[in-house]
């Protein structure tokens, strides 16, 4: 496999620990990990993997991903080096690996509203579009103008209306298209008011979410008419530990790594919560975190 990618040595590593790239801080080694800096490198890596029959995954900041303890026996492509951002008045174009929180902070400094909800979300722009990230009553679909994506080595443009956005989903979840960048249209406003709203959202996150521990964000999607954290708490599971993983005492829809958790610990806690909530309330919780094996 290494020989197949020998001309990518500048951006590729062997036996790379996935735990180093996961906000949950778990995961075994990837046989190969690549860090492309532009669309051409990303496209070339995907093409080479296809030629060699090598499994590959596209990963941003791995903020809602759970890597297996056994690692990944293929090529993990991390897009975090693709983070260029360009502004044109109230419009902004950001590459897939750009920090969503960083983009929100930059917009605030420019007195542009629309991304205040994103403060504190640890993911990338690509991941945010992929899952239609949202919080505090807003989501990416509210400000997205278009995205560019890669399909079979060709770059295409997709307008906002063609994204099939829904709750924590988009058209990208049902295709093999690879998001390259996204364009957003923001709204000029009072810089102080925008900054105050962003600060309020960030303070709310700190007070309600266990940001002091490694985690992968909300474990479960919100079922209709209910909140997963409340259901898990009512089921008596708040604070439950398996190995080094714990259902957070601060917010029961978060599983935290207390220092030596494994992916299997986290999966067992996830399954325990699903079974208990279904048994008591008849509601099957659907995971928001993506498990990579």
Active site residues: 168, 218, 288
Q: Is 89 in a helix, a strand, or coil?
A: coil
Distance (Å, rounded) from C-alpha 94 to C-alpha 108? 15
Q: Say which residue the tokens 């303890």 belong to.
A: 69
Distance (Å, rounded) from C-alpha 87 to C-alpha 185? 10
Q: How many CB atoms lie within 10 A of CB 166?
A: 12
CB proximity list for 1: less than 8 A, separation 6 or greater: 31, 32, 52, 54, 75
Write the DSSP string, 171-183: GGGGS--EEEEEE
Distance (Å, rounded) from C-alpha 50 to C-alpha 42? 12
């Amino acid at each position: 496999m290494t020989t197949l990618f020998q001309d990518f040595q500048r951006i590729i590593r062997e036996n790379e620990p996935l735990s180093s790239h996961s906000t949950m801080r778990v995961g075994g080694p990837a046989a190969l990990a690549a860090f492309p800096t532009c669309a051409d490198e990303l496209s070339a890596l995907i093409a080479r993997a296809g030629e060699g029959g090598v499994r590959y995954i596209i990963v941003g900041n791995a903020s809602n991903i759970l890597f297996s303890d056994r690692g990944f026996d293929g090529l993990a492509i991390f897009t975090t080096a693709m983070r260029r951002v360009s502004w044109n008045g109230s419009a902004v174009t950001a590459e897939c690996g750009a920090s969503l929180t960083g983009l929100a902070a930059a917009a605030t400094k420019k007195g542009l509203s629309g991304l205040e909800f994103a403060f504190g979300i640890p993911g990338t722009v690509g991941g945010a579009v992929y899952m239609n990230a949202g919080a505090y009553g807003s989501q990416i679909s509210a400000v997205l103008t278009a995205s560019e994506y890669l399909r079979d080595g060709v770059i295409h443009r997709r307008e906002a209306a063609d994204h099939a956005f829904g709750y924590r989903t988009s058209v990208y979840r049902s295709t093999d298209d690879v998001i390259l960048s996204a364009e957003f249209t923001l709204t000029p406003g009072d810089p102080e008011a925008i900054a105050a709203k962003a600060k309020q959202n960030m303070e709310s996150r700190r007070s309600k979410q266990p940001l002091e521990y490694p985690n992968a964000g909300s474990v479960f999607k919100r079922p209709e008419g209910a909140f997963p954290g409340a259901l898990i708490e009512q089921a008596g599971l708040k604070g439950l530990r398996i190995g080094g993983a714990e259902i957070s005492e601060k917010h029961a829809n978060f599983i935290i790594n207390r220092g030596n958790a494994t992916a299997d610990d986290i999966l067992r806690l996830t399954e325990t919560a699903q079974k208990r909530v279904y048994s008591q309330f008849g509601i099957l919780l659907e995971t928001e975190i993506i498990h990579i094996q």
